[in-house]
Structure 1
């Protein structure tokens, strides 16, 4: 039974010689008490449901806070990892550039050494050619002088043969 405030205010009891009829008042009070009891139970249930929902809400808020903290921590870790990776990449690039410069310096040094070796070999070749030319010329002179001697000997032999025949 639903009893409103207006129903209660407009409720009229029958009167008797000594006032309102006791049965009507008691019956109305019973109806009001039953309705108020139902309302109290509903209120209690609703209060429990509100309490349960507030606990769930608090639990969800706690989870949300944990998730936000986790996200922030993860973002910070990601940023740290990126920063460390960038630092390591810079170090690797610097080391590679340093090694490349060392290799280039060594290559230039080796090239200079090769040029010096080539120059030295050219000098040695020129010196060898001069010595060889000198030796060939001296041998040629020796051969030419030997040929002259050989001619003189042949002339002498032919004179000797001529004298022997005569």
Structure 2
């Protein structure tokens, strides 16, 4: 049986000889019904409050999930950004190393080219000096074959030969 305040108020008891005082029972039931009605009202208010609080808790849980999701996404974004920055830095370093290697290789080729030119010029210098020496030697021999007319002319030829030897020495340097 379900109790309601109205059912409590309307409850009828059988009358018996020497039974309870009807008026006392009625007053008691009236107080009981009133108290029961207050408890039902309080229970209703508490249920409403529980429903409202459950709604708030649900809202806060949704906010918490959203915040957790945002934090997770921010962490993932930060991680991806950091990884991308590292990859980009590695690419820049590799590119710089490649350019440096290319520059060094070009410089080495240029150096080898210059060294070859220097070697060629040294050989050319030696060839020209040999030709010049041979030419001067043959000219001196020609001069020696002709008889000197005087000692003065012989002295001039010797001085000229010394000058030619000095020129050849200067060319060697």
Give distance in 2, aligned partners of 1:53 and 1:114.
89
Structure 2 gaps, min length 5: 1-14, 154-173
The residue aligned with 1:112 is 112
Q: Deviations over 1:28-64 (max 9, x none)?
A: 1121122112212221221122122211210111011
Q: Structure 2 vs 1, CA of residues 53 and 143 (structure 1 numbering), >3 Å: closer, same or farther? A: same
Give distance in 1, aligned partners of 2:120 and 2:24.
140
Query: Which structure is richer in relative contact order (CA contacts within 8 A, separation 6 or more)?
Result: 2
Once the two structures are overlaid, the 10-residue window that deviates more, 54-63 or 95-104, is 95-104
The residue aligned with 1:101 is 101
Q: Structure 2 vs 1, CA of residues 152 and 25 (structure 1 numbering), >3 Å: closer, same or farther? A: closer
Give distance in 2, aligned partners of 1:122 and 1:64.
85
Q: Deviations over 1:64-91 (max 9, x none)?
A: 1101211221222223223322322232
Give distance in 2, aligned partners of 1:58 and 1:138.
118
The residue aligned with 1:64 is 64
In the TM superposition, 1:2-151 aligns within 5 A as 19-138=19-138, 140-141=140-141, 148-151=148-151
Give distance in 1, aligned partners of 2:16 and 2:58.
59
The residue aligned with 1:159 is none
Give distance in 2, aligned partners of 1:132 and 1:56.
111
Give distance in 2, aligned partners of 1:136 and 1:49.
127
Structure number with bigger Rg? 1
TM-score (normalised: structure 1): 0.68
**What value does the CA root-mean-square deviation take over the aligned residues?**
3.0
Aligned residues: 140
Once the two structures are overlaid, the 10-residue window that deviates more, 135-144 or 52-61, is 135-144
